[in-house]
Amino acid sequence: MEKLVIEGGLPLSGEVKISGSKNAALPILAASLLTDEPVILRNVPILRDTTTMIKLLKSLGKIVEIDGDRVKITSNGKTRHVAEYKLVSTMRGSFCVLGPLLAKLGKAKVSLPGGCVIGIRPVDLHLKGIKALGAKIQIDGGYVISRAKKLKGTHIYLGGVFGSSVLATANVLMAAVLAEGETVIESAACEPEIEDLSNMLRAMGARIRGVGSPRLTITGVKRLRGVSYRVIPDRIEAGTYILIGAATRSDIKLRGADITHLMALTDKLKEVGVKVTAKRDVVKVKCKKNYNPVSITTYPYPGFPTDLQAQFMALMTIVEGVSVITDKVYPDRFIHIAELNRMGANIRREGINAIVQGVKKLKGAQVMASDLRASAALVIAGLAAKGRTEIHRIYHLERGYELLDKKLTALGAKVWRERE
């Protein structure tokens, strides 16, 4: 096991290339199960999570070739219907093979994804949508077992306690594209990752209307063809690097980002005193000397993303004044507070709110990563802090940030890995 070591307090400069979207690539990879024809995907980030999904596709009978960020998926026509626990349990996103397996084969046996460190994330909306399409479902031995001679279109409401679900929308959408008749999904997730999946499915021959809206209308087709498709840039990686620039008071550039996916973040950063501009796919971050404290509340897209909550909090720890961070998507997503406080931050939690009293400077310390985005927050804090920070359990970072240490080094950061 390795740890990440950061010598903080250095200004950064230069340009960083943004990778393809992890959260878009996972359901898009799963969508290859809907056809026996070749699927070629470009701009796929090679991460722990995407590698897990590729292993799962192989275990289901697909042939997968990787060449840089290009992934080619072919089939020998013998797709298995069982997604094993040892793979699904390591990554929640792999549960989205349920919909395409059921639609293509008429049966699926998929392990439940298990617990999650950021709180309870049930699969009830997934099962609600799949049942509505006519599938019979039972849970036995930790597996969801579903069968349907033929899925049939219907009207489905997928709203949950904390809004729409991206993964449930993806699962039900992929099942519906081969269902008989018309399916309407109400309260569908509007995230760019769902729009990307929809565009890929349409390129395969699916008939989907209302893409990008909370109402998706799908007219089922008999079969889908192969496709060559490019995955969108990772908006969360881009947002993380923008916040790295802001926290280190550094003017940096991002290449390959789509700023239109980050309007909630850039709007808040404007209030802070950070100017973010874009020309084509190049984003520039320009920082002022003095910042203003700003409060945020996370919501489903196009609201402020929960996946940038921890990183934004890391920035607010060094902005004098009081900021309130509220997470209405995952109210338990505050494990990083204790680790930021170890570095000299002044944060207290009150229910779904974190009250941040900004300090002048953070100090390097030994900290422990608890999940993917909390890890990114600790990286931001370490880069802004004075002295040496050691981040343990960095396998979390490897789930969602491609070549992080190399990209940071190219910006002038003193970052390296050491064996534990």
Domain edges within the chain: 2-19+233-419, 22-230
Task: Give the Cα separation of 195 and 301 in Å (integer).
Answer: 12
Q: Label residue 114 by pLDDT band (50, 70, 90).
A: low
| Residue 116 clears pLDDT 50, i.e. is over it | no
Q: Label residue 256 by pLDDT band (50, 70, 90).
A: very high
CATH topology classification for 22-230: UDP-n-acetylglucosamine1-carboxyvinyl-transferase; Chain (3.65.10)
Which residue numbers are catalytic? 116
pLDDT in tens, 208-237: 999 999 999 999 999 999 999 999 999 999
387 vs 118, which has greater pLDDT?
387
pLDDT in tens, 18-58: 999 999 999 999 999 999 999 999 999 999 999 999 999 99
User: In percent, how much of the chain has pLDDT > 70?
Assistant: 98
pLDDT at 121: 54
pLDDT in tens, 331-360: 888 999 999 999 999 999 999 999 999 999
User: In percent, how much of the chain has pLDDT > 90?
Assistant: 90
Q: Would you tell me the crossing angle of helices 166-176 and 192-203 to the nearest 10 degrees?
A: 10
Decide if 2-19+233-419 and 22-230 have a common fold.
Answer: yes
Task: Give the Cα separation of 127 and 102 in Å (integer).
Answer: 12
73: left (phi over 0), alpha (psi -120 to 50) or beta: beta
pLDDT at 115: 46
Give the CATH architecture of domain 2-19+233-419: Alpha-beta prism (3.65)
Residue among 247, 396, 388 at smallest CA distance from 313? 247
Give the predicted TM-score (pTM) of the model.
Answer: 0.96
pLDDT at 163: 82
